[in-house]
A and B are shown apart, each in its own frame.
Chain A
Amino acid sequence: MLSIKNLHVELEDEDKKILKGVDLEVEAGKVHAIMGPNGSGKSTLSYVLSGKDGYEVTDGSATLEGNDLLDLEPEERAAAGLFLAFQYPVEIPGVGNMTFLRTAVNAQRKARGEEEMSAADFLKEIRAKAKDLKIDADMLKRPVNMGFSGGEKKRNEILQMAMLEPKMCILDETDSGLDVDAMKLVAEGVNALRNEGRGFLVITHYQRLLDHIKPDVVHIMSDGRIIKTGGPELALEVEHNGYADILAEVA
């Protein structure tokens, strides 16, 4: 599904190498987790894949079902089925959450040559999905993420994911700023979306999110490279011993 080969990335404004040859294959139906210390390049990977400005790819490739992601505009990547759940969801004053979601759903449908969703169907679907995530009518009406708590913002990300039904979901530090209850709710939302056709890449600093979203494969990232790959037990190892042992072992 998602195939990353030898990806090298620098910051555009400064001569700083962030990713130094990342190789990663996420298969449909699988959940991959990327763990790593701060500054290892995890979030940069998510931004580069979703098309944020400010990064320069100097080598390597990233494809989604064979489509060259790096050649596409952010909105084209979204229409191709890529979704990034932001670490810091952006507040947009003046744009209603509902309007935003409907615009996004229909923009993607249009880009894929599908018919737009009717207002009635959209309303029915969003109400059902919002209910599962304990998102009330008021949150749907308010401007996007405005005045939302940390937990509400993350639930709103998952609601967007549920409405847009992407093929490949990247979750960037979705657990940051969440208490245990909020994390459970978010994890349930993600688990409900797991299916055979959909791939997940869960980026996290801590193991605790992976108690709730069980990964199939765990990667450890450090200094712009994936230095170790294993099963769920790798996450537990990090939990118990920290990153130091693994870093030392690889070095």
Chain B
Amino acid sequence: MAEAKLQETATEAMISTLSMPQGGWAQPAREDALARVRAMGLPQRRDEYWKFTRPDTLTQAEPVPAAIFEHGDAPMFDGIDRLRIVFADGEFDADASDDLSLEGVKIERLATAMSDLHWARDLYGTLEKNGQNPVPRPLAALNTAFATDGVLIHVTGRPSKPINLIYKHKSETSDAMLHHIVKLDAGAEMTLLENGPAAARFNTVMEVDVADTARFHHVRAQGRDHERRAATHLFTRLGTESLLKSFTVTVNGAMTRNECVIELTGDDASAHVAGASVGDGDFHHDDTVFITHDAVNCESRQVYKKVLRNGATGVFQGKILVKEGAQKTDGYQISQSLLLDGDSQFLAKPELEIYADDVACSHGSTSGAIDEEALFYLRARGVSHAEATDLLTLAFLAEAVEEIESENLREEIIGRLSSWLERRSG
């Protein structure tokens, strides 16, 4: 009882610091979400899905201040022709953004899309709400209730270039909440890029509805700011013969929880989610994935790789749920860590729950050190210890990066990873 009371107090303390945007088509969904948050309460350490990750800094009323990080690199995805939409501490920055027009796609902002019969009305909070069962995700519901802005992207065709959401961090105490909706019509295809430190504390929800035969590519870069705290949620619903490919690279960050909730609702659909993370020292990174197969002949892949050192912590909680009737499911899940010293730790909880009898599901999880034989082989050819370690580290991460379909984007990510590693060991 005492704990429940404590949780209620913490939840109300958080809610009291936030103000719900008023009016407009999203209001009922926001009210509904607020009721969900109150019913669930914010995450606590004893919650089953928060065993490995302390939720405190994500749930306390005020964010822990985070220093502004100047990386001095060229902007992420700089070499890619893209449409940039910039948010600074969660506020839309019109001057830094490109014109929001692009053929095959309609882009609006949550804060200014006012029409009463907006298409996003049927989606806002809907996939998030579906994703609350069986695992509660109170931070996502909190976001639906209080998000101040975000983008609403309706993809009707095949835009010629990716849309890039860029998150800048300007204030050391900023607490930002953005909620994005992406709706792809049948046959549509687009690539969404996300990058940037965003805020001292960042909470995002992205709800993606992928109609039959549509294809959605998502590539995200989180890094290299050390003090970032972020909770991100990707909710995706996939129709018949549709495709989702989502990849996230994470470098540094005091606290990152990336949740990914995917539902394959149409036959022959495919979902690939992958992550490559590199943590050094005060680093806590958590990938929590839940994939539900609710149709026939669907495929899903989860590929997560983490390189940890100097006391860094990596967490992976991945589940494949195959519902009754979801025959011919092909589910694959791998989570691996490369521990560069004895101080770092990797905590993994792979889960399979299967109610169909004609499925192929596999999962594996490993933790290991650098392969000494391979290291010696490289050194015997003249490659220095540091460079050989980087090469093997990059090779370890490559399987996750391979999940990105675009070669340009793959190279962009590999290039970044390689220069980050080089600098770190240099």
Task: Enumerate chain A interface residues (CB-CB to B < 8 A).
Answer: 50-53, 73-75, 77-79, 84, 86, 89-95, 99-100, 103-105, 107-108, 111, 143, 160, 164
Q: Cα distance A51–B388 when bound, in Å?
A: 15
Give 1 or 0 for each of B236-261: 1 = CB within 8 Å of chain A CB.
Answer: 00000000000000000000000000
Asked whether B383 is an interface residue with its Cβ less than 8 Å from the other chain, the reply is: yes
18 example contacts (A-B, Cβ-Cβ < 8 A) are as follows: A53-B376, A73-B379, A74-B376, A74-B379, A75-B383, A78-B379, A86-B380, A90-B373, A90-B376, A92-B371, A92-B378, A94-B398, A95-B392, A95-B395, A103-B387, A103-B391, A104-B383, A107-B382
Assess whether A92 is in contact with B380, with CB atoms less than 8 Å apart. no
Residues of B within 8 A of A105 (CB): 382
Give 1 or 0 for each of B367-394: 1 = CB within 8 Å of chain A CB.
Answer: 0000111101111111111011001101
**Interface size range of chain B in the complex:** 20 to 34
Residues of B within 8 A of A52 (CB): 376, 380
Residues of A within 8 A of B376 (CB): 52-53, 74, 90
Asked whether B25 is an interface residue with its Cβ less than 8 Å from the other chain, the reply is: no
Assess whether A94 is in contact with B396, with CB atoms less than 8 Å apart. yes
Assess whether B391 is in contact with A95, with CB atoms less than 8 Å apart. yes
Q: Cα distance A79–B383 when bound, in Å?
A: 9
Q: Cα distance A86–B380 when bound, in Å?
A: 10
Assess whether B395 is in contact with A86, with CB atoms less than 8 Å apart. no
Q: Cα distance A127–B362 when bound, in Å?
A: 40
Q: Cα distance A105–B381 when bound, in Å?
A: 8
Assess whether B394 is in contact with A89, with CB atoms less than 8 Å apart. no
Closest to B397 in A: A94
Known: A92-B395, A94-B394. A104 touches B382 (CB 8 A): yes
Given contacts A74-B380, A94-B396, A160-B381, 18 further A-B contacts (CB under 8 A): A52-B380, A73-B379, A78-B381, A79-B382, A89-B377, A92-B374, A92-B377, A92-B378, A93-B395, A99-B391, A100-B378, A103-B391, A104-B382, A107-B381, A107-B382, A107-B387, A111-B382, A111-B384
Assess whether A164 is in contact with B374, with CB atoms less than 8 Å apart. no
Q: Cα distance A99–B395 when bound, in Å?
A: 11
Assess whether B379 is in contact with A75, with CB atoms less than 8 Å apart. yes
Task: Enumerate chain B interface residues (CB-CB to A < 8 A).
Answer: 371-374, 376-385, 387-388, 391-392, 394-396, 398-399
Q: Cα distance A193–B99 when bound, in Å?
A: 62
Q: Cα distance A99–B383 when bound, in Å?
A: 12
Residues of B within 8 A of A99 (CB): 391
Q: Cα distance A104–B387 when bound, in Å?
A: 10
Shortest Cβ gap from A114 to chain B (Å) = 12
Chain B facing A: main interface SS: helix
Residues of A within 8 A of B394 (CB): 94-95
Assess whether B380 is in contact with A50, with CB atoms less than 8 Å apart. yes
Q: Cα distance A135–B150 when bound, in Å?
A: 54
Shortest Cβ gap from B33 to chain A (Å) = 43
Assess whether B382 is in contact with A78, with CB atoms less than 8 Å apart. yes
Residues of B within 8 A of A108 (CB): 381-382
Q: Cα distance A79–B384 when bound, in Å?
A: 10
Pick the contact of A51: B372, B379, B391 (CB < 8 A): B379
Residues of B within 8 A of A103 (CB): 383, 387, 391
Closest to B393 in A: A94
Q: Cα distance A203–B202 when bound, in Å?
A: 62
Q: Cα distance A162–B395 when bound, in Å?
A: 25
Known: A95-B392, A104-B378. A75 touches B385 (CB 8 A): yes
Assess whether B399 is in contact with A94, with CB atoms less than 8 Å apart. yes
Q: Cα distance A84–B376 when bound, in Å?
A: 11
Closest to B390 in A: A103
Known: A92-B374, A94-B398, A103-B391. A78 touches B384 (CB 8 A): no
Shortest Cβ gap from B195 to chain A (Å) = 24
Residues of B within 8 A of A164 (CB): 381-382
Closest to B399 in A: A94
Residues of B within 8 A of A111 (CB): 382, 384
Q: Cα distance A146–B372 when bound, in Å?
A: 17
Interface centre among B371, B379, B391 (most CB of A within 10 A): B379
Residues of B within 8 A of A74 (CB): 376, 379-380
Assess whether A75 is in contact with B398, with CB atoms less than 8 Å apart. no
Closest to B384 in A: A75
Interface centre among B374, B379, B380 (most CB of A within 10 A): B380
Q: Cα distance A103–B396 when bound, in Å?
A: 17
Closest to B398 in A: A94
Closest to A81 in B: B382
Residues of B within 8 A of A91 (CB): 374
Q: Cα distance A63–B387 when bound, in Å?
A: 26
Shortest Cβ gap from B83 to chain A (Å) = 33
Assess whether B383 is in contact with A86, with CB atoms less than 8 Å apart. no
Residues of B within 8 A of A84 (CB): 380
Q: Cα distance A148–B394 when bound, in Å?
A: 22
Q: Cα distance A87–B254 when bound, in Å?
A: 45
Assess whether B377 is in contact with A107, with CB atoms less than 8 Å apart. no
Interface centre among B372, B381, B384, B388 (most CB of A within 10 A): B381
Q: Cα distance A89–B384 when bound, in Å?
A: 19
Shortest Cβ gap from B121 to chain A (Å) = 46
Closest 7 CB pairs of A and B: A94-B395, A78-B382, A108-B382, A104-B381, A74-B379, A90-B377, A94-B398
Q: Cα distance A92–B383 when bound, in Å?
A: 14
